[in-house]
């Protein structure tokens, strides 16, 4: 059986989220039944009560999103978005380290006919997201162009 943890004495309001949103302070916690857990948890979510910040983003400059839905439509049995993501992830991690995260996304709502949708999304509001569509037959050329754009994002 699952047991959710609640703050024993105090809950603090999450800044800017209104009085109903609260985040637990580190300290003693009790379960819903009133029993203390063996080990207190400092960032446990109380259902319906709080989102606890996870800290800094695991990537510093930008995310490259590749539409999984487009990849499924164009790849038949093989999702070409997944293969392209793996190649881009390998290249960006070698060259840019943790500056860029390459990931598969759900539909980007660009929905190009016969093409794959992608977006470069800057972290921390350092600029607007840029959306692209690419011909799956030209992914080698697209890879080079995306690397140039990602290098520009990691310079600033």
Enumerate the domain spans of the chain. Answer: 1-53, 62-155
Q: Which of 30, 75, 77, 21 is CA-nearest to residue 51? A: 21
pTM of the predicted model as reported, rounded to 2 decimal places: 0.63
56-71 CB burial, b ≥16 within 10 A, e <16: eeebbbbbbbbbbbbb
49-94: pLDDT as tens digits? 566 666 666 677 888 999 999 888 887 788 899 999 999 999 998 8
Q: Which architecture does CATH list for 62-155? A: 3-Layer(aba) Sandwich (3.40)
Question: What's the pLDDT at 22?
Answer: 47
Task: Tell me the CA distances in angstroms from 32 to 11, 29, 36, one per residue in order.
Answer: 15, 10, 9
**How many Cβ atoms are within 10 Å of 110's Cβ, its own excluded?**
15
Question: What's the pLDDT at 28?
Answer: 47
95-131: pLDDT as tens digits? 888 888 899 999 999 888 899 999 998 887 778 889 9
- Tell me which DSSP letter residue 50 carries: -
Task: Tell me the CA distances in angstroms from 75 to 12, 124, 144, one per residue in order.
Answer: 50, 34, 21
2-59: pLDDT as tens digits? 333 444 444 444 444 444 444 444 444 444 444 444 444 545 555 555 666 666 666 7
- Tell me which DSSP letter residue 48 carries: T
């Amino acid at each position: 059986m699952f047991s959710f943890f609640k703050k024993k004495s105090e809950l603090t309001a999450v800044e800017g989220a209104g009085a109903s949103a609260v985040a637990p302070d580190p300290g003693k916690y009790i379960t819903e039944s009133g029993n203390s857990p063996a080990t207190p948890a400092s960032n446990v979510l109380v259902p319906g009560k709080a989102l606890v910040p996870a800290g800094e983003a695991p990537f510093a400059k930008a995310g490259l999103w590749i539409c999984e839905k487009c990849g499924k439509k164009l790849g038949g049995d093989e999702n070409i978005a997944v293969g392209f993501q793996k190649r881009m992830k390998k290249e960006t991690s070698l060259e840019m380290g943790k500056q860029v995260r390459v990931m598969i996304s759900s539909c980007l709502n660009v929905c190009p006919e016969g093409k794959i949708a992608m977006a470069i999304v800057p972290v921390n509001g350092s600029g607007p997201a840029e959306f692209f569509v690419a011909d799956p037959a030209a992914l080698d050329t697209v890879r080079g162009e995306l690397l140039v754009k990602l290098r520009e994002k990691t310079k600033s």
